Amino acid sequence: MKTFFQDKQGNPLLLTGLQSHNSSTGSPMMEQTIRAIREFHGNLLEAPVYWYWLEPEEGVYDTTHVRELIHTAREAGLYLVILWFATNKNGHPNYVPEYVKIRPDIYRLAVEPDGLPVPSMSPHCQATMRADQRAFVELMKCIKEEDEDYGTVLAVQVENEAGLGGTDRDYSDEAQQDFEKPVPAELDGVEIEDSGASLKDNSWRGRFGRYANEAFTAWYQARYIDEIAAAGKQVYNIPMYVNAMLGFPYSEGGMAYNSGGPAVRVLDIWKKAAPSIDLLCPDIYTPARDHYTHFCEAYRREDNALFIPESGFVGTAAALNVIRAAAQYEAVGICCFGAESTLDEEGNLREDVKDTAVSFQMVRNIAPLLVKYHGTGNIHPIIQDEFMAEQLIQLPDYRITAHFDVRRRIPDTRETLPRGRGILVQTGETEFYLTGDNVALDFVSRPGPNEEMPRFWMACRQSNQLNFLTVEEGHFEGDKWVVDFRRNGDETNYELYARKGEVVRIRLNPTMGVKGKVN
């Protein structure tokens, strides 16, 4: 599996950016969308295209707004992810063409157990799938024609937070017939934890117990989307993903979130049912740390890199969670939803969004290292969760303490400090890069396990933060480190700090402690 999205030359890309509001495509709002992404130092615009615009009349296709959108992103120097708002937008058919909306006899809605329709298209209806698929193929033809030589469009999201709202499955006669068939052989060996399944037979109930209805819907929803994606890939083969509405951990499909979307519980089913889909992605709106990490852990798998197409942007939790996703869970992309709302009426970043924008800046600034050291264990998140004054980063050779709120100890300093956060990357035995805000590090070399006088090494004059060779502020141009400012004296004697999202390269003295005795 490829981990990262790639540019035209095949270089891996870490994506950061914002998603526009739902109705911004083709409107003047898009200017604000782009402006907001710049404020976030992003490289990615996520924006929808609409089935009903692409196919204003049955069988008549108009790609004007798709082409405009691609040009807008390209002129702004951004990559683009196109969101295909079609059969399913958050479980609803808002974006289907009128000819689909007015013929529920052909393009069927799902129904509840009492036979009443819910406002979600049935994933068992082949007529809707084929109509969506035809339009999607036109979309992919247009992207190929307009963009194959440029590579502005990096990926397509197929549908949006798909699944059924208001019911756990479709109870129509057609769906019931599907429900009575045995579970497909592709799902042999797939189980859902805590389902209580009897495993007595190969029925959906027998195999997935209390989660049978969600599992069943997931299979059919995933097959529906996979058929659309596969046809699109035949035309133009670029990465395609599906995003998930999540609810809260362990909640129920059809209640807290749409049933049948790629939610945590049914990820294995989706992986089997939708081989044309490259990534299953969580839209993580929950600010709570435990919930956020629950979802990051679930979607970052051997067979699924973590890409977060939507998340919140307000306040401290969002600012910390960006670092969690990028450094702790090594996300290959992070986006917030609702770009235009990050700006105030004058078009400036809102106060309550600024810390999140700085976190995005950190990720951008250090992105070449996040790509290079992905999966090596050399990337260390620094996060001042509630009540923390410092954080320990224990490495084989160094004990590094990240101190927060250090400036508050200076009596004259009255400023309110943001929650400390940053990313530390070890790039050599004695070389580290730090980015952060309200973070100060000190490095102590650790004695080796056979050291006869460990106390000497821990306490000796050699073991403190004065033991660096150089401390540089700078930036990356491609993979190349460019020094902007060399710190020394007061700027190094008290702390090795990062205060505004800058990147600092720290070269430690190799003769410190275990790396070489100096006495």
Interface residue list for ligand DGJ (CB under 6 A): 22, 90, 160-161, 283, 310, 337
Q: Please say which residue, 156 or 192, places its beta carbon nearer to ligand DGJ.
A: 156
Q: Which is nearer to ligand DGJ, 135 or 281 (CB)?
A: 281
When the beta carbons of 22 and 465 are compared against ligand DGJ, the nearer one is 22
Residue 448 burial (CB count, 10 A):
14
Tokens of 91: 């479980």
> In this chain, which residue has its C-beta nearest to ligand DGJ?
161
Closest contact distance (angstroms) between CB of 132 and ligand DGJ is: 18
The position carrying tokens 């937070």 is: 161
DSSP assignment of 450-478 equals: T-S-HHHHHHSTTSSTT-EEEEEEEEEET
Q: How far is the CB of 337 from ligand DGJ (least distance, A)?
A: 5
Least spacing, CB of residue 184 vs ligand DGJ, in Å? 28
Question: Alpha-carbon distance 241 to 308, whole Å?
Answer: 11
Closest alpha carbon to 232 in 145, 309, 128, 135: 135
Please, what is the minimum distance in Å from the beta carbon of residue 204 to ligand DGJ? 28
Residue whose CB is less far from ligand DGJ, 52 or 236: 52
Find out whether 481 and 425 touch, Cβ atoms under 8 Å.
Answer: no
In the complex, least distance from residue 22 CB atom to ligand DGJ, rounded to whole angstroms: 5
The span from the CA of 476 to the CA of 428, in Å, is 17
Nearer to ligand DGJ, 160 or 435 (CB): 160
Residue 291 amino acid letter = H
Q: How far apart are CA 505 and CA 268, in angstroms?
A: 42
Between 88 and 445, name the residue whose CB sits nearer to ligand DGJ. 88
Tell me which DSSP letter residue 259 carries: B
Residue 156 CA to residue 137 CA, distance in Å, equals: 12
Cα angle for residues 59, 61, 65 (degrees, 5° grid): 155
Smallest separation, CB 233 to ligand DGJ (Å): 23
Q: Which is nearer to ligand DGJ, 93 or 368 (CB)?
A: 93
Report the alpha-carbon distance of residue 32 to residue 238 in Å, rounded.
28
CB nearer to ligand DGJ: pick between 350 and 372: 350
Decide if 172 contacts 178 (C-beta within 8 A).
Answer: no
Tokens of 178: 């599907």
Smallest separation, CB 375 to ligand DGJ (Å): 29
Residue 406 beta carbon to ligand DGJ: minimum distance, rounded to whole angstroms: 37
Distance between CA atoms of residues 233 and 238, nearest Å: 7
